[in-house]
Structure formats: structure tokens, C-alpha cells
């Protein structure tokens, strides 16, 4: 006779049942006794974490819902859709970001990191959808709609990078006259001069910039404020000023006790290196290139250097002259190109580097050696004053609050032979001619509306506030535009929302639908009979990001992400290859990817609440009044507060709170 060992089974989490229950009870009785909380459902719109994580504040859930077909374009006078879903989604997207085709390619996508779908299997490919919509708009010659009225107010925008273009776009839509002053030959800032063209195709960048200029934005190129035009002239001619001059001055190697370390002609900053390449001046590099950094910019430098390679028979001064601002010799175009040996050093271990993981993987696949946990401590120079090697030492680095702490590991010093050393450890603002805006910390100090401290009518955004992502600069521009608009109207800027993003506007849908309401009063919550409110609806988007544990994740099945095709290069194929690596998704793939969105914090019309309500208290809104965000409602005469509708709501849109 065999025996088995009795084990305690794992506790299950079935609703209403506990271990030890042995009596069979009528489930109807359980439900009818469940109204112990006295709460009824309220429909709560919250901010999804993708939008809460997006520095430019895009209404990501909104345009994904349009792509998947839940929210449809408004109807025209003929009863047909007034535009295609692609145009409708693109217009929703560009309310926050006028450069979606560029950002869909280069943004490191913090929205995808924050996506609640990561708790199911993998994030939604938000960048992929943005990429598709941006390219579709260019291919179909989409234009922004100019405002019907002009205010007569004039705003000067200093700098034509992402922050300056963003604020110019938003202010032009508000009817103000905008003039951009740019010291370079072309607009784009770091999008053009800091990112190689195989990541941001120039025809794509030019198309999205031209669309902004078509709103009537005036541009003065090769014009530096403080030199060619004085601040006094700007103040006399314009009603407000925006500082979007960026941080395009590089930082030197951080070598203690050696002030002359960076004086060698073959030691350059990342911004100088990338600008020389993007200008077409830099044609080749030395045989051995060492890049010091660890962020995305350092990866760009390393991959550009790897693609350029070196010339078999030439002089080191050729590429030094190119970076310094002179044309490289023609031999660079006709000589045999060899692969450069590129080494990237970072004070952080490889898995802790600031650069995005895909970019690190690409760099390593292309033959770039990445040394994590090493810091520069000196430069070895030859008799001619040129650097011949970078001296490094192993270290342990960590962030303590905003401060970087580095512990040296003595006895680990070694030299990395180098023909070219590039410092890619950060950027600095060049305040020459406009020193009055320097806060003393190398940046501009501004309030939450991005108005410069002690300078009424002067606003700022982008890297002059804090060097960060391109999409961060776009977000700064949008917020500053609101502040400038209020300033020009003589309105005291109010407090910005806690969660400062573009989000779904139910009131706009009522207008589009032509549904008449009474006098809407805040808060927008009330009974199912009143017309003076939106029935049992509460918009908490400005203060609440809904986490994954407020969703019913069991509703969602495993669905693989639709990934864009990326061309992976190796050590040999990378040499001389400046073609774009990433392809957009097809229309069918984009729709399928948008359907993976869990619509966190807003109804996506799954019918769970209607199907599972035992009282038939939850019902569909009649077709003449139904719209996105107003698909179901509750009859409070029938509701007993059993919580089932909230339990089975996949998006967390239904919460039990009414009656508290």
C-alpha cells in the first residue's frame, strides 16, 4: 500500500471564498449581501503611465485608440468621416509634438519603459506607431492648420533646435508672429548637428521643420544673438523672448590636476566631432579612436568613427583640421578606407551606462570595444604636443542623489593608444554675449512655466534649462508657449498640473458628437438623471497615473509585439555604411500593435462590466449619445455596490467611490 505526503495547497484568490468554507451557498445570496461598502461605480479617467513618462506630453493613449479604431474621426456635413484615421491620429499626436517622424526614430522611449503592458509580456511599440504616423504625414503632404486670427504680438525665439521649433509651432498656432534666430546655417539644433543622418534622415527632418515654417514663422539664419543682434534690439522689437539656444558646447575631459590635458589638437569634444561630421567636413578619423562617455551621444560618436574608418596614407592633421573647421583634404574621398579601432570608456559598468541598451548592442556588434568601469586620469603626449594615449584607471561609480561619486581602484592604471580622443561626457551652454542669463551654474534658472527668474517676458526651454532628451526640449517648448501666451494676454501664469501632459478631452467629444448638455459644473460627477454633469464621470488625469495593479490583467492574452525591422551591422559591414537602419511598420502591423494597448485609465469598450453585472445596472449608453469615454453608464436605482464591474474592468476606468 502506497502512502502520499499531504501538502498544503497554494491559496487561491477566488473572490468571496476562504479556506474552510464547506457549505454550498446560493451565489445570488452572496451577491445580494455584497453591498457592504455602500459604494457605487464611478468612471474615472486617469493618466496612463506612458503619457506620464513622455517628456513631450503626447496623448499616446488617444492616438493609439484612434489607430485601433475605438475613437473614430468626426463626421463631416455629408455624414462621412471628415478625414482618414491616419490624419486624425497624426493631428492628435502633433498637438504635443510637431516632429513625430524624427522622434519616432531617435527618442529612447521612456513611454515604453513605463508601459503597463510590460506586466503582461512586453511593452506596446509606441515609437513604432509614432514613426509610421510621422512618415505617413510626410508622404501625404499633411499641413498644420493655421489659426484664423492673428494677435499682433511678436515673439523672438533664440535657437532653432527642438525647443525653439516647438515653442514657435505652439505660439504660431495661437496666432502670434514668430521669428527664429539661429546661429547655424540650418535649423534643427542637436537633431541635425548632434545626431548622425543615418539615425535622423535629413529629408525627414527638413520636411517636419518646413511644416512648422509654413505656419508663417520667420527665420534668420547665421545670426547670433549677442553678436549680430543685441538683446536690447530684441527687447525693443518683440513682446516676448524665448531662449532655446541649446547646449552645443562640449565638456572637456575631466582629468584632475592637469589643466593642459585637453590642449592637444587631437582631443576634441563630442559636439565638435558630430558637428564636423554632419557638416560634411569630417571624412575620416585616425586608426585608433578613444571615446570617453557612456551616454547616447558617446555611442553616436563611436559608431560614426567606426563607419568613417581611417585613411591608409594621410596625416593626422587632416581630421584634426576638419573638426577645427577647415575642409579635409580630397584624398579622404579617394584613398583606401580602413576600419578604425574604436574604444568607448565609461565610469559605469556596461549594464549601468546611460545609453539605451539597443544602441549599446549595435555598437558592440559593429566591433566597438566598450570598457565599463574605467575613468580617464591623464593624457600621454608626444614631443609634438599631440596625444598618443589616454591613461585610464578602473573605478566604481554611483549616483548619490544628483551627485556622481567615483571611487578609484589604485594599481589598475593603463594606457589606451589613441590617434583621436573624443570627450563625450556632456554639454555646456555658450553664454557669450548673453551672460546676463547665466544662473552661475552654466544653465538658465526658470520657474515651472519656464519664465526666466527675474526676467518678465523672457522664457527658456531645452538644454539651457537642463541637458536632457530631444523630446524633453519639445515638452519645455510647449509649456513655455502656454506661459508666453498668458504673458502676452496680461494673465498671471497659473500653476501647472501635477501631471503636465496632453490627455483625452471628453468635452471635445461631446462637441464633435453634437450632444447637448446642461451647464457643466465641476467636479464632473453626479447622478444618472442630471444633465448638468457628465454622469458619474471624474477626470483625474491631472493628478493621477494609474498603476498596473489597478487593472484586471487577466483580461489580456499574450500577444507578441510587432517589431520594426532593424538592420544589424557587423565590424565589416558598418564601415562606410550611412544608410538608415530602422524600417517603419506596415499599416496592418501598426493597427495590430495599437490593439495591444491596454487603454489604461479609459474605457476601451470591452463590455465586461455590462456582461458581468448581476443587477443589469451597468448599461450601454444609447447610440445617439455614445462616444469614446462615454460607452457605458450605471443605473443607481439598480446598483447594489457589489464591485464586480470594477473587478472585471481591464483598464481600471471603473472605480468604486461614488457614495463615499
| pLDDT bucket at 150, cuts 50 / 70 / 90 | very high
Residue 545, strand partner residues: 47
Position with higher pLDDT, 551 vs 1: 551
Report the predicted TM-score, pTM, of the whole model to 2 decimal places. Answer: 0.83
Does residue 6 have a pLDDT over 50?
A: no
List, for residues 295-333, the tens digit of each pLDDT value. Answer: 877 788 888 787 776 655 444 444 444 444 322 222 223
141 contact partners, CB below 8 Å, separation of at least 6: none
pLDDT score, position 546: 94
Angle, alpha carbons 34-35-41 (nearest 5°):
115
Share of the chain above pLDDT 70, in %: 85
pLDDT score, position 560: 93
Could you count the other beta carbons within 10 Å of the beta carbon of residue 114? Answer: 18
Average pLDDT over residues 415-437: 87
Average pLDDT over residues 73-87: 91
309: its cell numbers? 574608418
List, for residues 373-392, the tens digit of each pLDDT value. Answer: 999 999 999 888 888 999 99
Exposure of 314 in the CB half-sphere (CA atoms within 13 A): 27
Return residue ranges of the chain for CATH 3.50.50.60: 154-247+429-488, 250-427
Does residue 522 have a pLDDT over 60?
A: no
Q: Please measure the distance between the N-terminal and C-terminal CA atoms of the chain and give it in whole angstroms.
A: 61
Helices (H), 345-459: 357-365
List, for residues 130-141, the tens digit of each pLDDT value. Answer: 999 999 999 999
pLDDT score, position 36: 54
Average pLDDT over residues 70-84: 90
* CATH superfamily, domain at 250-427: FAD/NAD(P)-binding domain (3.50.50.60)
Mean residue pLDDT across the chain: 84
20: its cell numbers? 474552510
The region that residue 182 occupies, defined by phi over 0 for left and psi between -120 and 50 for alpha, beta otherwise, is beta
458: its cell numbers? 523672457
Q: Coil, helix or strand for 455?
A: coil
| pLDDT bucket at 263, cuts 50 / 70 / 90 | confident
- What does the alpha-carbon distance between residue 600 and residue 337 come to, in Å, rounded to a whole number? 52
What CA dihedral angle connects 511, 512, 515 and 517, to 10 degrees? -20
- What does the alpha-carbon distance between residue 380 and residue 417 come to, in Å, rounded to a whole number? 9
pLDDT score, position 578: 73
Q: How far is CA 9 from CA 6, 22, 483, in A?
A: 9, 16, 61
Average pLDDT over residues 538-554: 91
595 contact partners, CB below 8 Å, separation of at least 6: 68
What CATH number belongs to 154-247+429-488?
A: 3.50.50.60
- What does the alpha-carbon distance between residue 156 and residue 239 come to, in Å, rounded to a whole number? 8
Lowest mean pLDDT among 123-127, 354-358, 543-547: 354-358
Amino acid at each position: 500500500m502506497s502512502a502520499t505526503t499531504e501538502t498544503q495547497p497554494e491559496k487561491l484568490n477566488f473572490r468571496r471564498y476562504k479556506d474552510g468554507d464547506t457549505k454550498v451557498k446560493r451565489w445570488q445570496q452572496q451577491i445580494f449581501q455584497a453591498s457592504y461598502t455602500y459604494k457605487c461605480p464611478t468612471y474615472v479617467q486617469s493618466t496612463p503611465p506612458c503619457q506620464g513618462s513622455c517628456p513631450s506630453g503626447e496623448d499616446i493613449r488617444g492616438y493609439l485608440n484612434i489607430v485601433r479604431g475605438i475613437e473614430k474621426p468626426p463626421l463631416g456635413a455629408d455624414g462621412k468621416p471628415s478625414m482618414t484615421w491616419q490624419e486624425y491620429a497624426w493631428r492628435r499626436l502633433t498637438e504635443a509634438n510637431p516632429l513625430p517622424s524624427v522622434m519616432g526614430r531617435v527618442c529612447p522611449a521612456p513611454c515604453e519603459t513605463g508601459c503597463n503592458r510590460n506586466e503582461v509580456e512586453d511593452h506596446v511599440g509606441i515609437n513604432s506607431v509614432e514613426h509610421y504616423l510621422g512618415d505617413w504625414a510626410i508622404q501625404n503632404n499633411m499641413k498644420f492648420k493655421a489659426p484664423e486670427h492673428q494677435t499682433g504680438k511678436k515673439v523672438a525665439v533664440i535657437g532653432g533646435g527642438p525647443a525653439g521649433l516647438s515653442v514657435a509651432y505652439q505660439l504660431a498656432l495661437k496666432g502670434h508672429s514668430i521669428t527664429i534666430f539661429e546661429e547655424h546655417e540650418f535649423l534643427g539644433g542637436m537633431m541635425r548637428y548632434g545626431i548622425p543622418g543615418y539615425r535622423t534622415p535629413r529629408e525627414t527632418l527638413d520636411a517636419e521643420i518646413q511644416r512648422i515654417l509654413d505656419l508663417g514663422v520667420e527665420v534668420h539664419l547665421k545670426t547670433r544673438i549677442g553678436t549680430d543682434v543685441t538683446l536690447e534690439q530684441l527687447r525693443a522689437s518683440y513682446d516676448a523672448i524665448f531662449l532655446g539656444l541649446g547646449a552645443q558646447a562640449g565638456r572637456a575631459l575631466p582629468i584632475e590636476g592637469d589643466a593642459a590635458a585637453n590642449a592637444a589638437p587631437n582631443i576634441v569634444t563630442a559636439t565638435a566631432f558630430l558637428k564636423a561630421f554632419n557638416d560634411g567636413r569630417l571624412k575620416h578619423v585616425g586608426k585608433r579612436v578613444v571615446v570617453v562617455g557612456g551616454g547616447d551621444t558617446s555611442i553616436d560618436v563611436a559608431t560614426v568613427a567606426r563607419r568613417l574608418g581611417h585613411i591608409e596614407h594621410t596625416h593626422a592633421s587632416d581630421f584634426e583640421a576638419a573638426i577645427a573647421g577647415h575642409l579635409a583634404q580630397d584624398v579622404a574621398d579617394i584613398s583606401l578606407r580602413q576600419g578604425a579601432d574604436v574604444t568607448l570608456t565609461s565610469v559605469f559598468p556596461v549594464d549601468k551606462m546611460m545609453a539605451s541598451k539597443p544602441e549599446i548592442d549595435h555598437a558592440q556588434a559593429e566591433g566597438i570595444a566598450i570598457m565599463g568601469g574605467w575613468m580617464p586620469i591623464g593624457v600621454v603626449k608626444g614631443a609634438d604636443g599631440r596625444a598618443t594615449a589616454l591613461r585610464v584607471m578602473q573605478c566604481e561609480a554611483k549616483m548619490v542623489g544628483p551627485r556622481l561619486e567615483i571611487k578609484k581602484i589604485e594599481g589598475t592604471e593603463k594606457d589606451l593608444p589613441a590617434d583621436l580622443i573624443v570627450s563625450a561626457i556632456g554639454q555646456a551652454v555658450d553664454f557669450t554675449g548673453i551672460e546676463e542669463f547665466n544662473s552661475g551654474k552654466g544653465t538658465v534658472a526658470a520657474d515651472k512655466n519656464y519664465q526666466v527668474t527675474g526676467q518678465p517676458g523672457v522664457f527658456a526651454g531645452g538644454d539651457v534649462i537642463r541637458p536632457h532628451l530631444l523630446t524633453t526640449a519639445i515638452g519645455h517648448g510647449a509649456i513655455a508657449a502656454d506661459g508666453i501666451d498668458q504673458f502676452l494676454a496680461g494673465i498671471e501664469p497659473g500653476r501647472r498640473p501635477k501631471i503636465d501632459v496632453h490627455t483625452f478631452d471628453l468635452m471635445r467629444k461631446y462637441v464633435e458628437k453634437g450632444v447637448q448638455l446642461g451647464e457643466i459644473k465641476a467636479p464632473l460627477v453626479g447622478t444618472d438623471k442630471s444633465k448638468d454633469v457628465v454622469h458619474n464621470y471624474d477626470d483625474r488625469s491631472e493628478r493621477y497615473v494609474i498603476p498596473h495593479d489597478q487593472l484586471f490583467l487577466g483580461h489580456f492574452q499574450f500577444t507578441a509585439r510587432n517589431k520594426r525591422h532593424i538592420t544589424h551591422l557587423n565590424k565589416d559591414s558598418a564601415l562606410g555604411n550611412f544608410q538608415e537602419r530602422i524600417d517603419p511598420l506596415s499599416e496592418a502591423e501598426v493597427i495590430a500593435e495599437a490593439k495591444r494597448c491596454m487603454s489604461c485609465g479609459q474605457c476601451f469598450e470591452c463590455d465586461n462590466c455590462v456582461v458581468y453585472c448581476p443587477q443589469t445596472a451597468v448599461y450601454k449608453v444609447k447610440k445617439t449619445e455614445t462616444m469614446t469615454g462615454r460607452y457605458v453608464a450605471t443605473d443607481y436605482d439598480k446598483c447594489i455596490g457589489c464591485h464586480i464591474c470594477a473587478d472585471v474592468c481591464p483598464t481600471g476606468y471603473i472605480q468604486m467611490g461614488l457614495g463615499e
